[in-house]
Every structure is written in C-alpha cells, then in structure tokens.
A and B are shown apart, each in its own frame.
Chain A
C-alpha cells in the first residue's frame, strides 16, 4: 500500500494511517480501515486485469473475422473478464472497501464485531485471486463465468478446477464479511442510533449481507459438485451418467441472480448518501427506500428461473418466474423515484460524487427497464443469449454498480486519505466514463435485437458497424478509468488536507477527524437526531 509513504507535515496528529509503519503492520492489522485499504488495493489490481481482458477482446471484435487472437484465446479472454470482474471485483467492491471502512464509523463503533475474521476474509479473497490468476497464467479457462455443465465438468480441457477453487475461496470471503456486518449492525450501534436513524448505506449493506450469507454457500456447493463430477466422474449434471445439466443452472442462478443485487444494492446505498449530502436534503421517504432494499434482497431469491426461459424448464415454471421478476422491478422503481424527489427543492452542488450519483440514476433506470423487457417471456426467447442481455447487465453492473463505487470512492476519499482529490480532473474523468460507457453498451442493445449471439469470436459482416462503435467506446471507457487511478494516488501525497467534514455532511463518519484515529471516535457518540437532518443543521449553524 502506498499509504505508508505518506507524511503529514500539517497534521502531526496520530491516525490510522500513521499509527504504525512497515509491511507487517498492514499484513497483520485488525483495523477495519486498514483492511479496507488492503481490499482496495487488491480489487483495483483485479479490476485492471479484468479490464485488460475486455480491451483485448473488444479489439478482436472490431472486425468480423478472427484476426487478433484465435478462438481458444478469445474464449479464455471473455471467461477471464467475467470471472475476475464478477467474483473478484464487483462482489467485493463496495462492501469490502467502503463498507469495511464505513459500517463501523457510520454506527459509531470502534471496529467490526469480529476484527480477526475480517482480516481472514481478506486473506481468503487474496488466496482465491491467486488461484484464479494462476489458472489464467497456466493457460486459462474457457467456460465463461457461468461454468455451464456438462461443458465445464466433462468437455472443457482447460483449468476449470483451479478456477473453481479460487471462486470457492472468494465466496467464503464474502460469506464471512456478510456475517461480520450483520452482527456488527445488530450489536454495536451507538447509544440512540435506532434502526430508523441508520444511514441508508447501512440498510443497503444489511440487505447485501443477508444475500451473501444465504446465497453464497449454494454456489460454493454447486461449483464443488462440478469438481466432483469432473474429477471423480460422479454423475450429477452429466446426462450420460444419469445427471441433469439443467439442474446446474437452477443451482447456479439461485445464487448468481441474487449476486446481481450484491453488486448493486451497496451502490444504491452510496447514491442515497451522496444525493442527500449534495442537495442538502433529507431523503424523500426514508422508510420506503430502506425497506425497498430488503424487498429487493428477498424477491431476488425468487426469480432465478428467468435465466432459463429457453433451457428446457417447464412452461408454467417459466411463467411463475416471469411474474415474480416483474415484482422485483417495483422496489427498484421506488428507489429511483424517491431519489429524484429528494432533489426537489434542494440546494444542489455539482461535486464529482453527485455527478456519479446522477449518472447512476440514469443508467440504472435504463438497465432496470430493459430488465422488465427481458423478463417478459415472449421477447426473452428472441433476445436470450444475445448482446441485448450483455448490454442490459452491463447497464446494471457497470452503469449501476461501478458508477456507485466510483461516486462513493470520491465522496469518502477525503475521509479515507485525509486529502482532497483534484475536482477538475475528477469531473473530466466522470464525463469521459459516462460517454465511453454509453458508446460501448448502447449499440449492443441494437446488436442483440438484430440477433447477434454473445460469446461469438467470428460474426457476420452486417454486425460490424455497431461492433466498431462498441469497441471505440470501450477504449474511451478504459482511458476514463485510468485517470482517477492516477489523480487519486497523486492526491494522497499532494492533495489539499481535507479537514474533518469537507462536504458539510450530517453523517457520523464526518464528525471525527480525517483520516480517523485508529478507534474512529475520541469518545462514543450519542445520537439524538434523525439521519440526513440538513435543514436543522443549517438553522443551527
């Protein structure tokens, strides 16, 4: 971590960054804030590796022929991109970094309930990442991130088992983090901090942790079964041994659909914090926004079959799953409408975190509405496994989850590093990312309805124009991601000191110096007000 090189000439004060020095003080730390930074470094590395894979296959897709790489390599590239981005970046992204840093601070606690378990979670992710990257270096895996059987268990000659061990370990990392958050939120809230005074970021993390705890074991066991079938020849999914390949899809999506909400719920928490802070407003309908997180987490477990409308699942099962999928759109709509209503009558400043927050609302709206579109059975048959699906889930995962992550990183950067990032550059990068994202993924909706299947190395010539647009967008997007990387690292040394509360936020985490002392608060705070109490704050001031 670069942080240990910092010096603070203007701040001789002790805080979590300068409390101790040396590699060991980081590798054996139990401070949730330091562990958050360990995660930040890890997932940033994974993000750029996953991104590099995407750059390579988008380059390949600029022409209809297979001319940059051969088919085997192409298949390994999109598999590596999916596996790394889903399991080693998006799922840990906000909870493990911002969540780890902020959950104790937002509830006025000294640390998480189980600090050592927290450190173990990070080690599990790192060991998992070593396995996954080891598989890539050894020759790669070509199953896609979905590991569909019997291809993955019987037919693929690539490093499936090693990759699955990596994903398995990363899964336990998120199970333990979820457990830690739930216990912490239940037992360690400061005096006076009732459930309905909790920041919505906490509600979102509580819902996410529920999914982690209940869903992740299922995918871990399922991938374990793939290994048993592949290595020991047990007939679980392989039909020639009496297994059922569709059973795998049921078990896989039972986790992997809720996993989408693991990615996007924490971002929704960030957006609630950012919108209130930069429009100086209390959130519109706190309880509706809070409970919509829980509703999404619960309903999210009942819709996995919508990934299987053309897989051989019974006609009537498909109808039930379609109906339930329509219901999950409602709590998402409630959030979007309430954020919009929060802006009404506010005092809005266009700081970078808010730009990301507004970007999230727009892109998540498109992603969510196209989600309704593909949940409708008759249309799903046509767009299933085409680029329409690819575009839809990137609007949710990148337009939604990643925008929230970047917005949150900018918003809390002054708290984490004690420094202000360069605002001009940050706005410029946000704009580049927004433009690059839409240019990359919007043409894919059109490609998908035209019928271009996903995971195609070679494609018919009539799809080329839209693919070139998409590849051009991807290169703009790639540049957009490198800029924040540079100025955030720069600002750790050269940024202006931030002070305790540069945004004038009501959040508890801002009522202690930046960077915070090791145990967060000089003395345990006592909470007497509701959260997002911006009007009162002004009249008091």
Chain B
C-alpha cells in the first residue's frame, strides 16, 4: 500500500470484492438504523421538551404488540441475511481450490519463514504468482500467531501443535502488507512482512533465479523425479538422515507401515477408528506417534517432538505426500474393498 491517507483498503484478491460487498451491506444496515434512532431521539427530545408541551398531549401509546413484533422481526430477518451471506463467504475462504500452489509457512517469535515446493526459502517476504490460487499450510514453533494479509481479506491463526490453512488468489501485482494479528510477545508489531505478487513469467524467473533450474536426482525410489533442493528432496534427505527407512521400508513390510500411497488414504487405527491421512495426521504421527497407531502395528516408534523443528516436519510431510499421490487411489480402493 502506498504511503498517504487512506479510508479503504486495496482489493487485491478474488475474495476481496466478495468480503467488501458483504461489508457494505452490513455498513448500510448500521448506518440506516443508527440514523433512524438518532433522528427519532433528537426529534422527540425537541418536540416534547418540558415547558413546550402541546395543550392536548398525544394519547398515551399503551404497549402496542404489533410495534414490538415489527421491531423484533425486521431486525431478525436482516441479521439472518447477514448470517447466511457471511457463512457463504466464510465457507469459500475456508476451502482452497484443488489445483492450488502449496507453500509451507512457519511462524515463530518474531518472523515468518516460507518454504516453496521447489525448495526456495524466504523470511518475512513471500513471492506468489498472479492469478493462481495459493494454499498456505501454517505452523507455529512457539505461541499463537495470526497470518493476515489485509489487501487479500484473509487471516487465520497459526496455532502451535496443529496445522491450519489459508488460501488466496492474487488479482493485482505489487507489494502488500503481511501482519501478525495475534499478540505474540515483545516484538509482535515487528512480526510483519511483504507479499510480493508477480506476473506469471516474472514469477517463473524469480523461481529460477533463486535456485537454478531444477534437476532430477537419483536416490531412494520415489513416485516421481525429485528436483534437487526441492522441499521433497530435503524431506527425502531428512528421512534418510533420521533413519526412518530402517522401519518404514519402501517395497516390503518392515517394523512400521510402508509409506508409499499412505497420503490421502483412509488409515485404519488400532482403536478401530479410521482417519484420513492428511498433513495434520502425518505431522502428529511423526511428532507423537503413540497418539494414533495404525492397526496391526506395535507402538514402537519414538516421538520426534523436540528433535526436529516445524520446518523439518514440513519437509518430511512433503516427502511422504510425494510418496502418496500416485498410488493413493489404489490404496483407498484396497481399504474400502476389505470393509
């Protein structure tokens, strides 16, 4: 946002006009009823001031039920419209499109750290392409933060111990404020940054400039070529360094479950429940494996809570995700056929 005096924020995402339309409806109602009440109060206060009463005071209005019903029903209808409209916009804000570009975000006192799928990393600055949905997965290393881009009208808390998500599609190139909106300690107001929206070709150039052209590498088997330096490659490296493959073997059953095709599938737990293997489930199973044990396995895995940080967890999640995407369909079919 350019310096100077503003009364209304820029609209720079697909959701911004939808949020603003709802806002104008609500401001409209507020202005109408405020003026109605102000006018009536001032008019009555002047017309009926003491010492200037009319000869015949108006007949006393006994409690008129019709009047009570009117001023209950009319505001109720307008409030219900505000509810349904608001819920509709909220639902759209909460559901990212399938084809969104996925970027991982870690908040900590007092900075924002970003990891792009191809491995580019940034602090307090986020480059995104114009006209393409971007989904952010948010995690916190310490306290609660809140990820807020006013020009996009999006905000969501970054809560330690779980993943939250947010999405947007930028409609304007330029630089926009990124704020932490949840009070997080001494330098809370310094936990700010910039979102840089680039035209698609500029964005490609930026990606290349950051890292050089991606190359495929040999290594552990994966479902698709892994570009060197990408989030997935980092996760793969970490997977090896931590010795995960000793138990989670790639081809045949080890002490732990085979992870190929797990992501996105339905996992049957020892407790009898079935859960979807999403990012949050994978994260929890790394940090605190005892919480949800897959049916047929012993609770032998050590917890990684405190041994790896949230950024590393995100790299592992990206790697396990890459193992899952090709065969997820088959796996899902297999589970449902056994039922």
Contact = CB atoms under 8 A, between A and B. Distances in A.
Interface of A: 66, 71-72, 75, 142, 144, 148, 150-151, 154-156, 239-240, 242-246, 279-280, 284-288, 309-312, 315, 318-319, 322-323, 326-327, 329-330, 333-334, 336-337, 340-341, 343-350, 358, 361-362, 365-366, 369-370, 372-373, 375-382, 384-386, 446, 449-451, 453-462, 465, 535
B188 A322 contact: no
B58 A329 contact: no
B41 A450 contact: no
Contact of B63 (A155, A285, A346): A285
Given A156-B185, A284-B63, A462-B5, A378 B85 contact: yes
Given A151-B185, A347-B48, A361-B37, A373 B57 contact: no
Contact of A455 (B23, B153, B183): B183
Interface stretch (B72-80, B123-131, B208-216): B72-80
A381 B153 contact: yes
A356 to B, nearest CB: 13
The 10 closest A-B pairs by CB, nearest first: A451-B150, A239-B161, A378-B89, A376-B86, A377-B90, A343-B44, A369-B30, A456-B189, A326-B79, A377-B86
B30 A366 contact: yes
B71 A385 contact: no
Contacts of B306: 240
A384 B91 CA distance: 16
B251 interface: no
A77 to B, nearest CB: 13
Nearest to B163: A312
Given A312-B157, A384-B155, A459-B189, A151 B183 contact: yes
A381 B181 contact: no
Given A319-B87, A381-B93, A453 B181 contact: yes
Contacts of B199: none
Contact of A340 (B22, B37, B49, B85): B37
Interface stretch (B6-14, B97-105, B239-247, B312-320): B6-14
23 contacts: A312-B159, A334-B68, A337-B71, A340-B41, A343-B48, A344-B44, A362-B37, A362-B38, A366-B34, A369-B34, A372-B26, A372-B30, A376-B22, A378-B85, A378-B90, A379-B23, A384-B155, A385-B182, A456-B179, A458-B189, A462-B1, A462-B2, A535-B60
Interface stretch (B141-149, B262-270, B271-279): B141-149
A365 to B, nearest CB: 5
Contacts of A341: 61, 67
B177 interface: yes
A375 B80 CA distance: 11
Given A333-B75, A343-B45, A365-B33, 6 more contacts: A245-B144, A347-B50, A385-B148, A450-B6, A453-B179, A457-B188
B37 A358 contact: no
Nearest to A376: B86
Nearest to A328: B79
B79 to A, nearest CB: 4
A103 B26 CA distance: 39
Nearest to B183: A455
A368 B93 CA distance: 26
B6 A330 contact: no
B144 A334 contact: no
A326 B190 contact: no
Contacts of B148: 385, 451, 453
A85 to B, nearest CB: 17
Interface of B: 1-9, 18-19, 22-23, 26-27, 29-30, 33-34, 37-38, 40-41, 44-45, 48-50, 53, 57-61, 63, 67-68, 71-72, 75-76, 79-80, 82-83, 85-91, 93-94, 109, 142-144, 146, 148, 150-151, 153-157, 159-162, 164, 177, 179-190, 288, 305-306
**Residue among B5, B22, B72, B90 with most chain A CB within 10 A:** B90
A248 to B, nearest CB: 10
Contacts of A148: 143-144, 182-183
A246 B159 contact: yes
A323 B288 CA distance: 36
B71 A333 contact: yes
Contacts of B68: 285, 288, 334
Contacts of B160: 150, 239-240, 245
B40 A379 contact: no
Contacts of A350: 45, 49
Nearest to A156: B185
A62 to B, nearest CB: 15
A184 B134 CA distance: 61
Given A322-B86, A340-B37, A378-B93, A458 B162 contact: no
A329 B75 contact: yes
Contacts of B57: 345, 347
Given A148-B183, A337-B71, A369 B162 contact: no
